[in-house]
Structure 1
Amino acid sequence: MRAPISVIIPTLNAGPALPACLMALGEGLQEGLIRELIISDGGSTDATLQTARAAGAEIVTGPASRGGQLRRGAVRAKGDWLLFLHADTCLAPGWAAPVLAHLTTETAAAFRLRFDSRHPMARLTESWANLRSRLFDLPYGDQALLLPRALYHAAGGYPDQPLMEDVALARALKGRLTLLPATALTSADRYQRDGWLRRGAQNLTTLARYATGTPPETLAQRYTKRP
């Protein structure tokens, strides 16, 4: 029986973070869960692709747009299940057992968020993200997403857009999402750089504007101009 999961990671100059992300997948390899690793790159100029090749990944290239990169990666996937994972996120030890249990279902799942920071605001932000995921079926991409390939395609997959691609797919999966008893440890660099309160407020504002119809391309222009 072939391993069930295709792991898909979008990258763009992810050289510093990618090795730790890939190392954390070793647990899934040992348990026979991972069939293939697909790196969907948006034009990296650092060591990202060298790291990917050394790990035996299949590499897909195209324009830099996380939604588009995720979509291209999914097209190449052969596993019955897809695990979408950001390069600056590591699945915490012990993740394989909850994932194995979830494979008996036909639903999608996200991981519980945790930041690699001891800042008090990190705990508050994590709590909100996990509450949002439970109450509103709205996990973000840094929580990773695991779902059957058939369900991914039935939901329309990731849209080819530069921002809010995770929200768009979560909306399409509403009512078919659960939160796993497993943790995704993600980088707090952006919050530490911008400030926890400022970054959190900007994220909420961006979500609200997207929900009221602002095009993702317009939101992305402002997003990339953040300090």
Structure 2
Amino acid sequence: YMYKLSIIIPVLDESLFFTKQQLYVEALLQQGHEIIVVDGGSIDNSVLAAEKLGCKCINTKASRGYQLHVGANASTYETLVFLHADTLLPLTATNSINTALDNLNASWGRFNVTFTNKKLIFRVIAWFMNKRSCITGIVTGDQTLFIKRKTYFDCGGFTDIPIMEDIEFSKRLKKHSPPICLSENVITSSRKWEQQGIIKTIILMWRLRLSYFFGASTEKLARQYYS
């Protein structure tokens, strides 16, 4: 039996995504899945572009954790997939998610991540990210978390925080059960890494994680991350 997916995409000025990925979005919708675009107040035409393709659109404040949770509340189907706008799900993902969640003990999981830039350094970074998340059970947003709807709400869903919402939620979820680590790849944009420089980005990520671990406010961390 093929479960239909509710794919939730938080956006803020991502109209380019919907222009670039038009065929991809249409293919997912043709498979019968729903795409819920939760817009945090874009000033480009993200919402227009998404609505034109047949996505369900909701406007909220800009806070990723909040946007994701609003999307989950608006979803119809029993399987939720949280997708970043700069990440591509393979079209075979629906089968992989269904197969993984058919196993009774499993209720959530993630994909391996690979970058749009195929240089060796990016392959190494992706390898470490994937390895780390399997070992720690912590899933980051770019790895595309999928989860049974019931588990999502039983575990309290995403918290209304602007950053680290993925780590915070993973910590609660892994007390429930470890994530399924699919070896199939989602492709995420290496744009941020290329613009900021690889070493700088790695240092920034680690600094933010450590600060978060030691109790820094997520508002402060979001300012550092998006500045």
> Which amino acid in the other structure matches residue 200 of structure 1?
I
Q: In structure 2, the residue corresponding to 1:159 is in which secondary structure?
A: coil
Deviations 1:84-121 (A, max 9, x none): 10111011353233122123134101111000002322
Alpha-carbon distance, 1:217 to partner: 0.8
- Determine if contact 2:137/2:179 at 8 Å carries over to the other structure: yes
Aligned counterpart, 2:144: 144
- Determine if contact 1:21/1:89 at 8 Å carries over to the other structure: no
Q: Output the CA distance in 2 between the equivalents of 1:144 and 1:10.
A: 12
Aligned counterpart, 1:81: 79
Relative to structure 1, the CA distance from residue 165 to residue 85 in structure 2 (aligned partners, 3 Å threshold; closer, same or farther) is same
Relative to structure 1, the CA distance from residue 92 to residue 5 in structure 2 (aligned partners, 3 Å threshold; closer, same or farther) is closer
Relative to structure 1, the CA distance from residue 171 to residue 191 in structure 2 (aligned partners, 3 Å threshold; closer, same or farther) is same
> Which amino acid in the other structure matches residue 80 of structure 2?
L
Relative to structure 1, the CA distance from residue 20 to residue 135 in structure 2 (aligned partners, 3 Å threshold; closer, same or farther) is farther
Aligned counterpart, 2:204: 202
Relative to structure 1, the CA distance from residue 94 to residue 81 in structure 2 (aligned partners, 3 Å threshold; closer, same or farther) is closer
Relative to structure 1, the CA distance from residue 22 to residue 155 in structure 2 (aligned partners, 3 Å threshold; closer, same or farther) is farther
Alignment of 1:26-175 (within 5 A): 28-29=28-29, 31-32=31-32, 34=33, 36-105=34-103, 106-174=106-174, 175=177
Q: Percent identity?
A: 29
Relative to structure 1, the CA distance from residue 25 to residue 109 in structure 2 (aligned partners, 3 Å threshold; closer, same or farther) is farther
Deviations 1:109-145 (A, max 9, x none): 1111000002322111101110111100112101111
Q: In structure 2, the residue corresponding to 1:17 is in which secondary structure?
A: helix
> Which amino acid in the other structure matches residue 209 of structure 2?
L
- Determine if contact 2:101/2:108 at 8 Å carries over to the other structure: no
Alpha-carbon distance, 1:47 to partner: 2.3
Aligned counterpart, 2:195: 193
Aligned-residue Cα RMSD (Å) equals 1.9
Deviations 1:21-80 (A, max 9, x none): 563355555555x2x211100011112112111121111111111111111111111111
- Determine if contact 1:90/1:186 at 8 Å carries over to the other structure: yes
- Determine if contact 2:88/2:188 at 8 Å carries over to the other structure: yes
Q: Output the CA distance in 2 between the equivalents of 1:22 and 1:3.
A: 23
- Determine if contact 1:21/1:88 at 8 Å carries over to the other structure: no
User: How many equivalent residue pairs?
Assistant: 223
Relative to structure 1, the CA distance from residue 177 to residue 13 in structure 2 (aligned partners, 3 Å threshold; closer, same or farther) is same
Alpha-carbon distance, 1:3 to partner: 4.8
- Determine if contact 2:26/2:53 at 8 Å carries over to the other structure: no
Q: Output the CA distance in 1 between the equivalents of 2:95 and 2:172.
A: 27
- Determine if contact 1:8/1:37 at 8 Å carries over to the other structure: yes
Gaps of 5+ in 1: none
Q: In structure 2, the residue corresponding to 1:52 is in which secondary structure?
A: helix
Alpha-carbon distance, 1:155 to partner: 1.4
Relative to structure 1, the CA distance from residue 218 to residue 44 in structure 2 (aligned partners, 3 Å threshold; closer, same or farther) is same
Gaps of 5+ in 2: none
> Which amino acid in the other structure matches residue 185 of structure 2?
T
- Determine if contact 2:10/2:37 at 8 Å carries over to the other structure: yes
Q: Output the CA distance in 2 between the equivalents of 1:78 and 1:115.
A: 31
> Which amino acid in the other structure matches residue 134 of structure 1?
C
- TM-score, normalising length: structure 1: 0.91
